[in-house]
Amino acid sequence: MFKQTVYYAHCMAIYDTQQEREDVGRLRSMGFRVVNPNSFRHKSKVKTMKKNGKTGSQIMDYFITVVNRCDGLAFRAIPEDFAIPAGVAKEIKAMKKKGGFILELPTFKHRNYMSIASTSNYTRRIKCQSTLNKSSTCRKRS
């Protein structure tokens, strides 16, 4: 069976952490073959590139070629503020340009959960914002 290849884009601060291990495991359990820039193969390549005087930009270009060989990309934003690091953003843009799929791994820290009433009100408001929706539930009540 053919497995789709997903590039796991994540901040270097997450390298070698429990979060990284969980993310890779989750992607594998979804049936993907995971390409992790923190793998021995890529770390060795980066070490050689640095030794040969390559710049950070040239090293990033190497990772863009890796991204372009994958079917899609899964990324993790920084959990504290949901920011996307510059390198991860560049990898996302490359996959978007390629036309592959892009998955954002969820960050459940600091999430607000809605009540049933809040969910219903939100759904009604969004539906009523549609210019095509002529439903009676969207008409102003007298």
Q: Which CATH number fits the domain 5-104, given the four candidates 3.10.110, 1.10.3470, 1.10.599, 3.40.50?
A: 3.40.50
| Residue 51, SS3 per DSSP | helix
Domain ranges of the chain: 5-104, 113-142
* Residues lower than pLDDT 70 in the chain: 1, 108-111, 130-142
Residue with tokens 């990324």: 75
Q: pLDDT value at position 129?
A: 79
Q: pLDDT value at position 111?
A: 65
pTM value surpassing 0.95: no
Q: pLDDT value at position 10?
A: 96
The burial class, CB within 10 Å (0-12 / 13-18 / 19+), for 32 is buried
The DSSP bridge pattern shows strands 33-35 and 72-75 to be: unpaired
Q: pLDDT value at position 141?
A: 47
